[in-house]
Amino acid sequence: MTNPLRLGIAGLGTVGVGIVRIVQKHAELLERRAGRPVVITAVSARSKTKNRDVDLSNYAWEDDPVHLARRDDIDVFIEVMGGSEGPAKDATEAAIAAGHDVVSANKALLAIHGQALAEQAEAAGCVIRFEAAVAGGIPVVKALTEGLAGNEITRIMGVMNGSCNYILTRMENDGMTYEEVFDAANQLGYLEADPELDVGGIDAGHKLALLASIAFGTQVNFDAVVLEGIGAVTIEDIHQAADMGYKIKLLGVAQMTGRGLEQRMTPCLVPDTSPLGQLQGGTNMVVLEGDSVEQIVLRGAGAGMGPTASAVMGDVMDIARGARMTTFGQPATTLRKVRAATGAVPAPYYLRLQLLDKPGALAKVARVLGDAGISIDRMRQYDHSETAAPVLIVTHKTTKTALDEAIAAFGSTSVVSGKPVAIRIEAV
C-alpha cells in the first residue's frame, strides 16, 4: 500500500476546521485523486477544550505549534494561524528545518518574510505552497505558476478584499454612508479584528505583493506597495462616478515599467460595464494579462471556510501527487531585486470640486489644469447651493505629479471650496 501523506494542522479556526472537514468528508475521493491516502495525524491550537463541531479525537494534540512542526509523524505542516511574526513564523521555520513541506494561508507572513522562507525551504528540498493566501478559493497562484508560465505577464489587476468590495457596493446599492456600512460589516464579522487591515488596503496589499513576485520574477517587496484605503470614499463620489459611467473599487495593480515595479492598492474608478465594474458584494476578482494569452479573468469567493480550505487542499493534493513547485514559480535565489516605480503610469483621473459661485470660476479651474499640462475630457456640473456647486471633471491621461500640482494650485484661485477629491481611472 502506498504510504499516506500525513498532515499536521496548526490553527483550528474557521479555515483549520474547514480543512479537517474536507479530509474527513472526502477521504476516499482524495485518495483516488492523489493515488495515496491523505490523513491528519496531529493538530495544534490555543484551546484544546473549545467546541469546534468537528471530531478531533483521532489526532495527536500539541499545545505548541513549533512542537507540531517538528513531529516526525507529519509530512506536511499546514499553517493557518495567521500573523507575520511569533508562532506562525517560528513554526514555519521549524517545519522547514525538520524537512517538512509547508502549506500556508498566511499572506502577511509570506509578504514580509517570503523571500527568506523560500530560500530556506528550497535549500532544504522542501516546498512552500500558499494558494489560500491570495484571493481565497480562486486558483490564481496556480494560474500564474503553471497555466500561464509560458507568458510574459504584463499586468495584474484585482479586487482582492471582499470586505472592501462589500462596503463599496452596499454604499452604492443601499445609499448608506461609509460609516454606516462599516459598522454593519463589523457587526456581521466581515472585518478583521483590526479593521484597518481590510479597509486600509493592507490585507489586499499583501496579496498583491505575492502575485507581483510570481508574475515578474522579483523578490517580494510589500514595503513598496502604495496603499490607500477606502475610508475617504463618500456616497457622493460613488453616485457621481456612477453618473459618469464608473464604479469605485479598491483595486490592486502591479506592472513592470521603465521606472521600476509599480504596485498600487488604492481606490480606482473602473468602467461600469467591465467585469470589475460589475463585481458585487464580498466576491474577489483577479485579472491577469500576458503577452500570449492576453487577458484572463478569475472570479470567486475570496474568503470563508469552504473556499480557503479548498485552496489549502489543492496545494496538499499537488504535494501528495509528487508535484514539487518552487515557492514563487522559479528558484528563490534567481528572483530579482528591483526598484519601486517612482511614479504611476499616466492615467485619466476623476476630479470632484466644490466650486464657489463666482464669475469666471470654471475658467480659472481650466487654466490651473492647463498650466499643469492636464487636459479635460469631460466635465459635469450639478445643482448648487447658494454659494457652491459640485463639479466633476474627467481628465485625459496625466501623471499623479501633475495632478498634485494642480490640486495644490486650486487653493490660490479663490473659487474652490474644501479639498478636491481625485481618484485614478484604470483601463480594464
Most confident residue range from 172-176, 212-216, 410-414: 212-216
Exposure on the CB side of residue 231, measured as CA atoms within 13 A: 11
Element (H, E) at 26: none
Provide the percentage of residues in the chain whose pLDDT is more than 70.
Answer: 99
CA distance 250 to 165: 7
Specify the residue for cell string 460589516: 185
Alpha-carbon 400 to chain mean position: 23
pLDDT tens digits, one per residue of 8-21: 999 999 999 999 99
pLDDT tens digits, one per residue of 24-46: 999 999 999 999 999 999 999 99
DSSP string computed for 127-147 = -EE-GGGSSTT--HHHIIIII
Q: What is the pLDDT of residue 2?
A: 81
- Is the pLDDT at 1 greater than 60, yes or no? no
CA distance 78 to 64: 14
Q: How confident is the model at residue 384 (pLDDT cuts 50, 70, 90)?
A: low
CA distance 117 to 114: 5
- Is the pLDDT at 226 greater than 90, yes or no? yes
Query: What mean pLDDT, rounded, does the chain reach?
Result: 93
**Residue 205, all three cell numbers:** 496589499
pLDDT tens digits, one per residue of 282-306: 899 999 999 999 999 999 988 888 9
Q: What is the pLDDT of residue 227?
A: 95
What is the length of the chain? 428
| Pick from 299, 228, 237: nearest CA to 264 | 228
Instruction: Assess contact for 107 and 134: CB atoms under 8 A.
Output: yes
DSSP string computed for 373-416 = T--EEEEEE----SSEEEEEEEE-SB-HHHHHHHHHHHTTSS-E
Residue partners of 184: CB distance under 8 A and separation at least 6:
170, 176
Given the candidates 3.40.50.300, 3.40.640.10, 3.40.50.740, 3.30.70.260, the CATH classification of the domain at 349-425 is 3.30.70.260
The superfamily CATH assigns to domain 140-302 is Dihydrodipicolinate Reductase; domain 2 (3.30.360.10)
- Is the pLDDT at 55 greater than 60, yes or no? yes
Please determine, looking at this structure, whether the domain spanning 5-133 carries the CATH number 3.40.50.720: yes
CA distance 219 to 238: 36
Instruction: Assess contact for 321 and 34: CB atoms under 8 A.
Output: yes
The domain ranges of the chain are 5-133, 140-302, 349-425
Residue partners of 266: CB distance under 8 A and separation at least 6:
201, 226, 227, 228, 250, 251, 424
Q: Is 365 exposed, middle or buried (0-12, 13-18, 19+ CB in 10 A)?
A: buried
Which residues are known catalytic residues? 207
Q: Is 121 exposed, middle or buried (0-12, 13-18, 19+ CB in 10 A)?
A: buried
pLDDT tens digits, one per residue of 75-106: 999 999 999 999 999 999 999 999 999 999 99
Instruction: Assess contact for 96 and 70: CB atoms under 8 A.
Output: no
Rounded to a whole number of angstroms, the distance between the first and last alpha carbons of the chain is 52
Q: What is the pLDDT of residue 224?
A: 95
Q: Which range is least confidently modeled, 68-72, 88-92, 151-155, 416-420?
A: 416-420
Q: What is the pLDDT of residue 385?
A: 64
Q: What is the pLDDT of residue 147?
A: 94
- Is the pLDDT at 191 greater than 80, yes or no? no
DSSP string computed for 282-315 = TEEEEEEEETTTEEEEEEEE-SSHHHHHHHHHHH
CA distance 144 to 151: 9
Region class of 53: left (phi > 0), else alpha (psi between -120 and 50), else beta: left
Instruction: Assess contact for 246 and 272: CB atoms under 8 A.
Output: yes
Instruction: Assess contact for 253 and 157: CB atoms under 8 A.
Output: yes
Q: How confident is the model at residue 186 (pLDDT cuts 50, 70, 90)?
A: confident
**Taking residues 326-336, what's their average pLDDT?**
96
Q: How confident is the model at residue 194 (pLDDT cuts 50, 70, 90)?
A: confident
Instruction: Assess contact for 255 and 208: CB atoms under 8 A.
Output: no
**Taking residues 153-170, what's their average pLDDT?**
94
Residue partners of 36: CB distance under 8 A and separation at least 6:
2, 3, 4, 5, 320
- Is the pLDDT at 396 greater than 80, yes or no? yes
Quote the radius of gyration of the chain (alpha carbons, Å).
Answer: 24
